[in-house]
Amino acid sequence: MSIKKSGLLSTAALLSALTASQIYAGERPPAGSKPLVDIIQALEAQGYSPITEISMDNGVWEVEAYKNNEERELRVNPLTGEVVSDRLDD
């Protein structure tokens, strides 16, 4: 399942518009994962904005976002919120 976010929507607006079944319809995050809102807010605090897509794949969040006007593809540990991979999106 993929979540797409317009750069014009705030984190709160995005998450309040989606139900848990829409967010997690497919692969669910592992038990003990941080709430998705915390992950998004932490990424935005690190300068990743706008966030344009989020999906859970093989137990990690895959995130597409912009930083310094470059499109980035991130892999984020759902338990810690740590960015484990950050590369240019091709």
Domains of the chain: 2-88 (3.10.450)
Does residue 77 carry a pLDDT above 60? yes
Counting every residue, how long is the chain?
90
What is the tens place of the pLDDT at every residue in 24-47? Answer: 446 889 999 999 999 999 999 999
| Placement of tokens 């607006």 in the chain | 13
Neighbours of 64 (CB within 10 A): 19
Alpha-carbon gap, residue 43 to 56, rounded angstroms = 16
Does residue 89 carry a pLDDT above 80? yes
Instruction: Output the pTM of the full model.
Output: 0.73
